[in-house]
Amino acid sequence: MRPRIAVLAAFLLLSPAACHQDAEERPIRLGILHSLTGPHAFSEKRLVDAEILAIEEINAAGGVLGRRIEPVIADGQSDSAIFAREAESLIKNGVRAIAGCAASSDRRTVLPVIERYGSLLLYPSAYEGLEESPHLVSTGGTANQQTIPAVRWFLENRGRDFFLVGSDDVWAHAENAIIKDQLARLGGRVVGEEYLPLDVHDTSPAVKKIAAVKPDVIINSLSHGIVGFFQKLRAAGVDPRRVPTFSLAVGEDLLRSLRPDEVAGSYAAWPYFESQDSPANKSFTQRFKARYGAHRHTDDHIHNAYIAVRLWAQAVEDAETDAPEATLRTISHQTLDAPGGRVWVDEENRHLWRRVRIGRIRPDRQFDIVWTSEVDIRPQPYPVFRTRREWVDVLQTLYRTWHNNWFRPPGTSQPP
């Protein structure tokens, strides 16, 4: 018995140190939650690519707190309910944060799960705003960093009659509510407004209305059917030199799916463009192509997914622990020299201060930057056109009208 007691005593004495050493050597698990299947996969797989690149580079440089980051990838399957279920599963399996979602309907479904477990969601997409949480860090632009500056520019440079076409979900409806408020203040007009199902296969009816109305500017907030929409516009004789399209979800990576004659002359507004001429951006685009192929392109979403992981890693280092409750505190103080320029997290709303740019699509499917904000623009999740309470009411009206969904199910009515 005595040898056994001696061995047990030695184990009890050594086990705290052994456990501490084991904890120091264990990888830090980061959840990656995007659609790898279904209609959203086309636009979300690129986000996984960017997040994996950031993780690989951080690990190659020694990791975080001397530990390797281990990506744990889950498929949201283009379904908000599955996104929420997978987020909960990732957290229960020990991830310390989740980089994920793209569609606003998915983010709004996942965030309550993140909050319930005290975790952190790193969200990479430009979006409508109208939301903030201590558990959400958004590296994409809000409406005052994308839509609002662009609408003002088009009013000053192209005309006052706007046609709005978007997907039938919370993102497009909220963006268009913001646009309509802005146009009403600045003397613009909405001459048409169309919403298409998320599984749209034919954009012809909307294009026919656009061709008949002949607006000065088309604002495109489609999340699906974008390729077909541009093709139908050109087939209908809508010339971007006379009637430009400003798209809220079109970047360089998606443009490779379109012919140059289908998109040249159209516009987008992003904080980041692949064509930005800086050593940091050239290095980033070269590294991305080296990892994923010379045919690939970076865009704002890819850039934002990459820097989200970088900002989180810095926050973990500053906290000196990967505990989510500590990272939640330190991430609101982060600054990063990103490929597209310096960014920093706003301490109050945890979105990024960004410089904003408007680009016109060239025949080579890159962008000529035609306007850049003079200063970095502070993120403003709730635009000044209404109170925060009024914006919340807009969202809740959509949610109730759509039978507690963040998109319009077939057979339900449009919101009032």
pLDDT at 6: 45
Domain extent, residue 293, equals: 28-141+278-354
Confidence grade of residue 410 (pLDDT, cut at 50, 70, 90): confident
* Averaged pLDDT, 77-86: 98
Question: Does residue 109 share a domain with residue 35?
Answer: yes
Name the phi and psi angles at 172, rounded to 5.
-65, -40
Question: Does residue 229 share a domain with residue 81?
Answer: no
> DSSP of 331-368, one letter per residue?
GGG-EEEETTEEEEE-TTT-BEEB--EEEEE-TTS-EE
Question: What confidence tens digit (pLDDT) does each residue in 309-368 have?
Answer: 999 999 999 999 999 999 999 999 999 999 999 999 999 999 999 999 999 999 999 999
Q: Of 339, 354, 369, which one is at a domain's C-terminal end?
A: 354
pLDDT at 21: 45
Tell me how far apart the alpha carbons of residues 210 and 181 are, in angstroms, rounded to a whole number. 21
**Percent of the chain surpassing pLDDT 90:** 89
Helix (H) or strand (E) segment spanning residue 196: strand 189-196
Question: Does residue 226 share a domain with residue 296?
Answer: no
Q: Of 12-26, 232-246, 255-269, which gets the smallest average pLDDT?
A: 12-26
- Quick check: is 17 in a domain? no
Question: Does residue 35 share a domain with residue 75?
Answer: yes
Are 58 and 64 contacting, i.e. CB atoms less than 8 angstroms apart? Answer: yes
Are 168 and 202 contacting, i.e. CB atoms less than 8 angstroms apart? Answer: no
Question: Does residue 90 share a domain with residue 34?
Answer: yes
- Quick check: is 67 in a domain? yes
Residues with Cβ within 8 Å of residue 150, at least 6 apart in sequence: 246, 267, 269, 358
pLDDT at 22: 56
pLDDT at 23: 56
Are 179 and 208 contacting, i.e. CB atoms less than 8 angstroms apart? Answer: no
Check which CATH number belongs to the domain holding 105 and give it. 3.40.50.2300
Query: Which letter does DSSP use for residue 257 in this model?
Result: T
- Quick check: is 14 in a domain? no
Question: Does residue 266 share a domain with residue 245?
Answer: yes
170-186 vs 147-157: helix crossing angle, rounded to 10: 40
Question: Does residue 161 share a domain with residue 117?
Answer: no
Question: What confidence tens digit (pLDDT) does each residue in 263-280 have?
Answer: 999 999 999 999 999 999
Question: Does residue 94 share a domain with residue 229?
Answer: no
Confidence grade of residue 415 (pLDDT, cut at 50, 70, 90): confident
Q: Is the pLDDT of residue 17 over 80?
A: no
Tell me how far apart the alpha carbons of residues 107 and 328 are, in angstroms, rounded to a whole number. 18
Query: Which letter does DSSP use for residue 1 in this model?
Result: -
pLDDT at 371: 98
Helix (H) or strand (E) segment spanning residue 372: strand 367-372
**How many folded domains does the chain comprise?**
2
Tell me how far apart the alpha carbons of residues 353 and 131 are, in angstroms, rounded to a whole number. 16
pLDDT at 9: 44
Residues with Cβ within 8 Å of residue 83, at least 6 apart in sequence: 33, 76, 100, 101, 106, 109, 110
Question: Which tokens belong to 386?
Answer: 């209404």
Q: Is the pLDDT of residue 53 over 80?
A: yes
72, amino acid identity? V
Q: Is the pLDDT of residue 138 over 90?
A: yes
**Percent of the chain surpassing pLDDT 70:** 94
Helix (H) or strand (E) segment spanning residue 341: strand 341-345
Q: Quote the mean pLDDT of the chain.
A: 94
pLDDT at 224: 87
- Quick check: is 283 in a domain? yes
Tell me how far apart the alpha carbons of residues 363 and 388 are, in angstroms, rounded to a whole number. 42
Q: Of 318, 334, 354, which one is at a domain's C-terminal end?
A: 354
> DSSP of 82-147, one letter per residue?
HHHHHHHHHHHTT-S-EEE--SHHHHHHHHHHHHHTT--EEE-S--------TTEEE-S--GGGTH
According to DSSP, the residues that pair with 29 across neighbouring strands are 70
Q: Of 4-18, 114-128, 225-239, 276-290, which gets the smallest average pLDDT?
A: 4-18
pLDDT at 187: 98
Question: Does residue 242 share a domain with residue 364?
Answer: yes
* Averaged pLDDT, 17-43: 82
- Quick check: is 310 in a domain? yes
- Quick check: is 22 in a domain? no
Tell me how far apart the alpha carbons of residues 378 and 361 are, in angstroms, rounded to a whole number. 26
- Quick check: is 1 in a domain? no
Question: Does residue 119 share a domain with residue 76?
Answer: yes
Are 77 and 38 contacting, i.e. CB atoms less than 8 angstroms apart? Answer: yes
Question: Does residue 384 share a domain with residue 259?
Answer: yes
- Quick check: is 49 in a domain? yes
Tell me how far apart the alpha carbons of residues 241 and 224 are, in angstroms, rounded to a whole number. 24
pTM, full prediction: 0.92
pLDDT at 412: 76
Q: Which residue has tokens 């989200």?
A: 308
Question: Does residue 149 share a domain with residue 117?
Answer: no
Q: Of 337, 354, 371, which one is at a domain's C-terminal end?
A: 354
